[in-house]
Amino acid sequence: MIVTVTLNAALDDTYEVPDARSGEVNRVAAVHRRPGGKGVNVARVLRGLGHEVVATGLSGGAAGRQIEEGLASLGVPASFSPVAAESRRTVTVVGPDVTMFCEPGPTVTAAEWDGFLARYESLTSDAAVIVLSGSLPPGVPPDAYAELARRAAGPVILDADGEALRLGVAGRPDVVKPNADELPFLIHICRCPRRG
């Protein structure tokens, strides 16, 4: 089984606005809503490819329920740890250009983080692979991915950016998957020699 971890899961809303104009009232032609966040997206793709997967992370409020219900409707098993605050939303406006707005996410208490850690250890005890992906919500320790990598019983893939990536590599994940924007940051923290 593959376990994907999305600590800052989102409810992704996409608005199609073919003739969007800044500073004016715009009519939305279509709305698409789905569960999101890097780890949730990985779980959805893996399930579509026929892999046994479970999505975990933190979720709260109506948006959190919609994230979990959306995953269930896609046949993706989910075991999220509850938080009192509302899970974040992202809004993408697709028109002549694409513009995305990302909320910061729910503030997570120390007790909620401890509850997630217990769930994580239970879910990952026999996991074939653990995927740690995405941003961290407020209240989660900045070195959360390093801690999760150290606690993992199986191989760990880390896909994060910024401070979460910088501190996460200290947990010695088996694979680090930076994108083109994240790679220069990772090279800098690894102090790899530069050519040229």
CB 166 within 8 A of CB 189: yes
For residue 54, CA distances in Å to 30, 98, 123, 138, 181 come to 30, 31, 8, 24, 28
Residues 161 and 169: their CA atoms lie apart, in Å, by: 11
Residue 15 pLDDT more than 90?
yes
At residue 148, the pLDDT reads 98
Among residues 18, 11, 161, the alpha carbon closest in space to that of 101 is found at 11
What does the pLDDT average to over 145-157?
A: 95
pLDDT top residue among 194 and 148: 148
Among residues 2, 3, 4, 5, the alpha carbon closest in space to that of 113 is found at 5
Model confidence over 125-150: pLDDT tens digits?
999 999 999 999 999 999 999 999 99
At residue 71, the pLDDT reads 97
- 89 φ, ψ (degrees, to nearest 5): -125, 150
Domain 2-10+36-86+105-190 CATH class label: alpha beta
What's the first-to-final CA gap in the chain, in angstroms?
A: 44
What does the pLDDT average to over 152-160?
A: 93
Residue 188 pLDDT more than 80?
no
Helix and strand element counts for the chain (H, E): 6, 10
Q: How confident is the model at residue 182 (pLDDT cuts 50, 70, 90)?
A: low
Model confidence over 78-102: pLDDT tens digits?
999 999 999 999 999 999 999 999 9
Q: How confident is the model at residue 195 (pLDDT cuts 50, 70, 90)?
A: very low
What predicted TM-score, i.e. pTM, was given to this entire model?
0.88
At residue 67, the pLDDT reads 97
Residue 184 pLDDT more than 70?
no
Residue 36 pLDDT more than 90?
yes
Residue 155 pLDDT more than 90?
yes
Q: How confident is the model at residue 56 (pLDDT cuts 50, 70, 90)?
A: very high
Q: How confident is the model at residue 166 (pLDDT cuts 50, 70, 90)?
A: confident
Q: Tokens at residue 50, please? A: 């026929």
Residue 144 carries which side chain, given as an amino acid letter? A
